[in-house]
Structure 1
Amino acid sequence: MVSPQGSLPGSAEHRLQELGIELTPAPTPFGAYVESVQTGNLLYLSGMLPAVGHEPKFAGRLGKEFDVEQGREAVRIAALNVLSAARKHLGSLDKVTKVVKLAVYLTTEGDFFAHPKVADSASELLRDVFGPDKLPVRIVLGVASLPLGMPVELEVLLEVEV
């Protein structure tokens, strides 16, 4: 694993291999939109959900159906979908020069307040793959509902080589 003090040597693609991460095929939209759009050197990734093979892996709320660790796993799956969509668009994650922004939306119940700990799962994965020098700014929001009843959704902005 990569620590906050340093990252594995080499490229993002090399780090994926070293971490034993094999990306699943990039997600496909659940509606009338595209997963990624590039303008200039910015790659926008639309709301990434914790779905595998176009099927939701989680449905419910944090603090009700899911605890913090289950929320972290749902966020990790969504973050892996971010990586898959970026790789599909760019051809290689090595073209990412900076993770600019990470927005984490969490469907929560009542007095659930562990938003940062759950969101850290995405931040940690992005750090481990791209290195600590490429960590983004981040916003974490609790919301009433998300598509298909899923508990998390990620929105990511990447700076890329052109």
Structure 2
Amino acid sequence: MPKNGPESRLVELAIELPPEPTPFGAYVEAVQCGSLLFLSGMLPVIGHDPKYIGRIRRDLSVIEGYDAARTACLSGLAAAKAYLGTLNSIRTVAKLGVYIAATEDFLEHPKVADGASELLLQVFGPDKVPPRIVLGVASVPLGMPIEIELVFELESPRAPR
């Protein structure tokens, strides 16, 4: 395991990945195309159980939204690790999309999205922080407040585990 790789950082930060998420419908959690790994939308779940339900500002605070984004990102890391066998084969985080179900007048989307961005910063380091898009949406599947999109560039285009 590389000394400064994401697997070592998880240990140093005492971050334990949740069980890999399981689909809520007819889809897979990850697909590799060449050196890119695309993940399905990640929700704030632990395995298959929602951790948060509701809209930001109406039902949940900004702090709870931040944690929901972090939880969804942890599920994404768990899905990537389950697919690849190790997070150390990730060269960089190529894209982060954060979709937030909030009230119409909610304006603090970046603060909520930072739950995912800051986790990626901690795990992968400042040179691998991705570009991101943050959007407020009318709803997210199953009444959850957050859905995130992740794309990773891999060290080499190899067959999945």
TM-score under structure 2 length normalisation: 0.94
Aligned pair 1:115/2:109, yes or no? yes
Contact 1:107/1:150 (CA < 8 Å) preserved in 2?
yes
2:70 matched residue in structure 1: 76
2:60 matched residue in structure 1: 66
Query: Which one of 121, 125, 128 corresponds to residue 134 of structure 1?
Result: 128
Contact 1:63/1:110 (CA < 8 Å) preserved in 2?
no
Amino acid at match of 2:115: S
Could you tell me which runs of 5 or more consecutive residues in structure 2 were left unpaired when the two chains were aligned: 157-161
1:88 matched residue in structure 2: 82
Give 1:53 shift: 2.8
Give 1:121 shift: 1.1
Query: Which one of 138, 151, 155 corresponds to residue 144 of structure 1?
Result: 138
Give 1:55 shift: 1.2
1:159 matched residue in structure 2: 153
- How many equivalent pairs are there? 154
- Rounded to whole Å, the distance in 2 between the matches of 1:147 and 1:121 is 19
- Runs (4+) of structure 1 exceeding 3 A deviation are none
Q: Secondary structure at the match of 1:47?
A: coil
1:13 matched residue in structure 2: 7
Note the alpha carbon deviations across 1:82-116, whole angstroms, 9 max, x for none.
11001011110000001000000000113111000
- Rounded to whole Å, the distance in 1 between the matches of 2:99 and 2:47 is 21
- Rounded to whole Å, the distance in 2 between the matches of 1:69 and 1:43 is 30
1:3 matched residue in structure 2: none
Give 1:132 shift: 0.5
Could you tell me which runs of 5 or more consecutive residues in structure 1 were left unpaired when the two chains were aligned: 1-8
1:47 matched residue in structure 2: 41
Amino acid at match of 1:82: G
